[in-house]
Structure 1
């Protein structure tokens, strides 16, 4: 019997050995590709992270994430919202400007330490995390040690796994959403007026529950189509009663408004500051520095009426419970406008991005309008709406509804029981109109 030749390649390997080697190499390549498969979700720190310890020192959040991080006491939290429990593989994307650092990442149920170095951006694997429920969860980032001047510049978390399905967070900066996302969702009550009612006066009562007077809050009581009127927490030492009217000329820069379309001041109360505002439309602004207090109910009254052929006048009054009298905030004339009050509403917003991690709530009670003929009508129905941050589901920590005799609004703080938008709520009616001698109010 003739023996078959033993085929060999130029390197002396048998054909079978070559086939086996190629097969083995192919298997290894596939395994390696799977191991470095990129994550499916990237969560930018810029719109989803807050400094939670040692605020104001040694590091800050920018549109690029955490930068200038020099303070070992600083801690940062990134929040996301899950709609599906499950496993989550997580990477932290960063660079180290110089030296080596050790960073601790804490998340649901455990913590992990990462040894990081190199001034090029890398994604460091933190492991697999188990998300056990729907709702908000967070990852905390803390610096343990560094041999350089900064711990790291951290840009994002990268995530892969079942729990990424339907994950809610600020996804990008289109429309400046890193800024708006960190401010948190603004929520509104749009009061339902009877048809054909010429509303000349709008009355509302506002109560901020104790401990809800968070810095950066605007508890806007008497909103209308051309402006807004309410109270703010501007700093740890300053609070304001604020009344503003938009110019009919649409711009974010007040100095671009033509003279004939500027808001004109007609009168102002004692110690009231008057000027202009911009950035969110432009127009005339007035405010009184007033140390209002949480837990006390405050009364707001707004008048709006047409004047002549093509103007309207808006006048705002605030009831000072210490003086037990109505005080004038300001009266403005708006050109190119002829109308009574329309689109009456209240809202709650946070205007300080660093405070978007803190929950706050407000109650609105006993809303009334007085017609141009002098008849008072109760406003006891309101539609609940929110801004784009909520509508896009970038933030879902918002709520509203009825508690006892009041409407309420709630936002920020990453609570889980959000309220479905566009619902109409109805509060119990008091049946008693405000007793206000409108003709005796200060001019």
Structure 2
């Protein structure tokens, strides 16, 4: 008779999964997987400054199948004693904490269904300055490292808390593959999906990107940037011959440089765009063979109006050609808002050739960034909804759309009516 030997030990050197026998233990760091409502703080080391009884701390992870799991916290109280509550689904546990050094606090066992799980911490009473410092949520009873989704130790907690970015990479008709002079696209952000920290990018291309973002409760921008061909995150290190040159910009448009994600020229217009309204983005590429450069110009307007607003015109050196690698994306650049959902519809994509003839985009491929690809987060979706392309991310929703799907799509709307000679320059 063949014997099945028990699994003795399974260790990942990232310090996140351990197995003994036929079950495993997951160490979920709060630094990459927790958010606070209130004044407490989440750092890479975990939860600190937890003083206010109104503070609510939420930890998120995802289970792939129904399971009964056992929970604990790695916690300490620097001084005094505290009482805290831990809510997992419909189950709430009250626990006393008095250890001044970090130790494991057993919470309890809960039966869970597949999907995202939220674990809430609340302070009940304390005799010291804080309720507790917490570094990790410990989950026992999983069968393998792949059963749980969370941001792992050893990865970037900054990007993990920002959440996954998702993209639409547009098909370019073969007949204009090297002759896309114009790129027209429209964005509609549904009501309540315009979360602070969101960037809804419309016209991305091999040399830059153009879209709109939410910077604060009172500030919104239309942003257009072009990368330098010199690869660096420090714009000051770019040789003069490889700098992006701002040729012109629209009224009240800010012009400057950017770094930290490559470097180049940046422009933005403070503009109070609104959720629920549809906005049009128009991008032009004008290659100059004599100077081996290409000028990229961007315009923006609310659909239904006739007035195009010039954002900016940049010259990119050592670049000769029309638009390639066209895409859109939705991302969150504010880690503290990575627990909120954002979404945008992308409609009516048209490509104009150098003769001014429009060609409809015939489809797109739906992709994601590293946070999505490595399964640190699974709160993302994209595809076709009500005949429109859409992208959605953040907020720990359960209806995941797998990446790398090819979408067949063709707008039913007529091409835009644009007098190119009348565009502001």
Q: Tell me, yes or no, whether TM beats 0.5.
A: yes
Q: How does 1:5-154 map to 2 (within 5 A)?
A: 40-51=25-36, 53-54=37-38, 57=39, 59-131=40-112, 133-154=113-134
**Aligned to 1:385, which of 364, 367, 387?**
367
CA contact (8 A) 1:108 1:130 kept: no
Q: Distance in 2 between matches of 1:150 and 1:50?
A: 17
**1:261, distance to aligned residue in structure 2 (A):** 1.3
Look up the match of 2:8. Answer: none
Match of 1:329 in 2: 311
Q: CA RMSD in A?
A: 1.8
In 1: Cα distance, 2:30 partner to 2:144 partner: 16
Matched ranges for 1:186-335 at <5 A = 186-195=165-174, 197=176, 198-307=179-288, 308-320=290-302, 324-335=306-317
Q: CA deviation at 1:309?
A: 4.2
Q: Deviations over 1:265-305 (max 9, x none)?
A: 00000000011111111111100000011111111100012
* CA drift at 1:230: 0.6
Is the contact between residue 352 and residue 358 of structure 2 (CA under 8 Å) also seen in structure 1? yes
CA distance in 2, matches of 1:157, 1:371: 55
Is the 2:363–2:410 contact (alpha carbons within 8 Å) kept by the matching residues of 1? Answer: no
Map of 1:398 onto structure 2: 380
Of 342-351 and 248-257, deviating more is: 248-257
Matched, 1:342 2:327: no
Cα distance in 2 between the residues matched to 1:188 and 1:379? 15
Task: Give how far 1:251 is off.
Answer: 1.5
Residue 155 of structure 1: which of 135, 139, 146 is its match? Answer: 135
Could you tell me whether the CA contact under 8 Å between 1:85 and 1:162 is conserved in 2?
Answer: no
What is the rounded CA distance, in whole Å, between the counterparts of 2:413 and 2:82 in structure 1? 66
The structure with the largest alpha-carbon Rg is 1
Corresponding position of 2:337: 355
The SS at the match of 2:421 is helix
- For 1:264 and 1:196, locate their aligned partners in 2 and report how far apart those are by CA, in whole Å: 31
1:260 is paired with a residue whose SS is: helix
CA distance in 2, matches of 1:217, 1:156: 28
CA distance in 1, matches of 2:394, 2:82: 33
Distance in 2 (CA, whole Å) between partners of 1:162 and 1:94 is: 22
| Alpha carbons 2:360, 2:410 under 8 Å: kept | no
Q: Distance in 2 between matches of 1:328 and 1:65?
A: 45
Aligned residues of 1:242 and 1:287 also touching (Cα < 8 A): yes
Runs of 5+ unmatched residues, structure 1: 1-34
User: 1:109: how far off?
Assistant: 2.3
Distance 1:323 1:378, change over 3 A: closer
Deviation track 1:106-145 (CA, whole Å, cap 9, x = no partner) reads 10221111111232110100011111x2110111011111
Q: 1:189-238 CA deviation, whole Å, 9 max, x = no partner?
A: 00000225210000001101111111111110111111100111110001
Whole-angstrom distance in 2 between the partners of 1:408 and 1:93: 40
Cα pair 2:197 2:333 within 8 Å, conserved: yes
Q: Take 1:321 and 1:432, find their aligned partners in 2: how far apart are those partners?
A: 14
The alpha-carbon deviation at position 49 of structure 1 amounts to: 0.5
Q: Secondary structure at the match of 2:161?
A: helix
Deviation at 1:320, TM superposition (A): 4.2
